[in-house]
Amino acid sequence: MAKAIHSMIRVVDENLSVIFYKSAFGLDVADRLDFDTFTLVYLRSAEADFELELTINKGRAEPYVLGDGYGHLALCVDDIEAKHRRLVAEGFNPRKIVEFNHEGVLRARFFFVADPDGYQIEVLQRHGRYK
């Protein structure tokens, strides 16, 4: 059986990204590996072993082109309204909370927020399959 351990994104500003993920989602730096041409920063929460790997290519100043394929990172929270209010207050500009219903059954309540590099993060209320 395979175990998911991390997902990687390329970011331009290490400090800005670390601050965003810590402030918005409580992810702390679990490890940092510095190489000649790039740095890897692993972020994780106390709740899970799954990590977000930030790759910072040294000397890069221009933003990455994210393309038109709609990928995202998803995190679940206990109180979606409180999380949304806090992200608004911190100036992170989350989109509105929406509901996803299927055949008359509420499947999910969620919103999206973009990180400093434009990656989309889906924030879901703990409910149903999202625990």
pLDDT tens for each residue of 19-70: 999 999 999 999 999 999 999 999 999 988 999 999 999 999 999 999 888 7
Please give the order of strands across the beta sheet that includes 73-77.
73-77, 120-125, 105-114, 98-102
The pLDDT assigned to 70 comes to 79
pTM of the predicted protein model = 0.91
Decide if 122 is catalytic. yes
Radius of gyration for the chain, computed over Cα atoms and rounded to the nearest angstrom: 16
Fold matches, 1-62 and 70-131: yes
**Residue 131 confidence class, pLDDT cut points 50, 70, 90:** confident
**Residue 2 confidence class, pLDDT cut points 50, 70, 90:** confident
Per DSSP bridges, beta strands 28-34 and 98-102 are unpaired
- Domain spanning 70-131, CATH class: alpha beta
1-62 in CATH: which number?
A: 3.10.180.10
Work out the burial of residue 122: count CB atoms within 10 Å of its CB; fewer than 13 is exposed, 13-18 middle, 19 or more buried: middle
pLDDT tens digits along 80-116: 999 999 999 999 999 999 999 999 999 999 999 999 9
**Residue 3 confidence class, pLDDT cut points 50, 70, 90:** confident
Please give the order of strands across the beta sheet that includes 38-44.
6-10, 51-57, 38-44, 28-34
Find the catalytic residue in 14, 51, 99, 122: 122
**Domain ranges within the chain, ordered by starting residue:** 1-62, 70-131
